[in-house]
Amino acid sequence: MESSAAFWIAAGLATWFVGASKGGLPMIAMLGVPILSVFTTPAAAAGLLLPMYILADLYAVWLFRGQYSARNLAILIPASALGIGAAFFFVSRVPPEAGKLLVALIGLGYLADALRKRLARDFRPRAADVPRGLFWGALAGFTSYISHAGGPPFQAYTLPQKLPKMTFAGTSTILFACVNWMKLPPYILAGQVSWDSLAQIVWLAPLALFGAWSGYRITRILPERLFFAFVNLALLLLSLKLLQEVAVAWL
């Protein structure tokens, strides 16, 4: 594992991004792995950050206590477990680029549909339902395991529900806390999480916790329309970035 000063600065920044995303700012979660990938492989970067996610999850779940959609979680957590199990079974058969392409198309498809509805002035919220929740939840677990990008499927399912800002953020935080714990055993088996990466927690843990606290505070003070505008912008940027990665890999 790289140990230069530049690496530690990048690791600290990536860890803060991880914590802040758990505090309710999903738009910056995408920055962690790319920053660390300058110094190590994406798989190793993801392995280093997963313990940081789990640590920030513990604090963030406490921060969002009482601010979540119980119905959505009851549907999405079991569904994501199915997706993680399928991804673990098929991971050697599914190219990472295929997973990234799927996530990018989901994100862009949702944004196109949201724009169509906005132009048609169709602002009716859509209720949480089991069939769609099982599909999008399983897809969120699958893509989170393969390419650490479970956000777009989650957003495609929950954003049309027009949940309040803090309920949306709390539901996302609790769901992906469960997803990260479920991903830990297979990541250990795959060698992505090792004693070497776990040792970094001692130095990076305070930044993960500070990130969760500061992300939560920023989420609380952001106007609701601005918050969801940032979420949609992050979804667009993530989708475009994944398309760029797929193009580079395949061309």
pLDDT tens digit string along 109-148? 878 877 877 776 666 788 888 999 999 999 999 888 876 6
- What lies within 8 Å, CB to CB, of 174 at 6+ separation is 61, 64, 68, 73
More confident residue, 103 or 55: 55
pLDDT of residue 133: 94
* Chain segment 55-77, per-residue pLDDT in tens: 888 888 998 988 999 999 999 99
Distances (CA, A) of 137 to 74, 106, 185: 10, 13, 20
pLDDT of residue 3: 59
Query: What does the longest C-alpha to C-alpha distance in the chain come to?
Result: 54
pLDDT of residue 251: 77
In whole angstroms, give the CA distance from residue 54 to residue 52. 5
Out of 37-41, 56-60, 132-136, 208-212, the most confident range is: 132-136
In whole angstroms, give the CA distance from residue 227 to residue 175. 19
Average pLDDT estimate for 224-235: 80
SS3 60: helix
pLDDT of residue 38: 64
pLDDT of residue 40: 67
pTM equals 0.78
pLDDT of residue 87: 85
More confident residue, 3 or 168: 168
Note whether 150 and 179 are within 8 A (CB).
yes
Average pLDDT estimate for 220-240: 82
More confident residue, 138 or 186: 138
Instruction: Measure CA 27 to chain center.
Output: 9
- Residues making up the chain, counted from first to last: 251
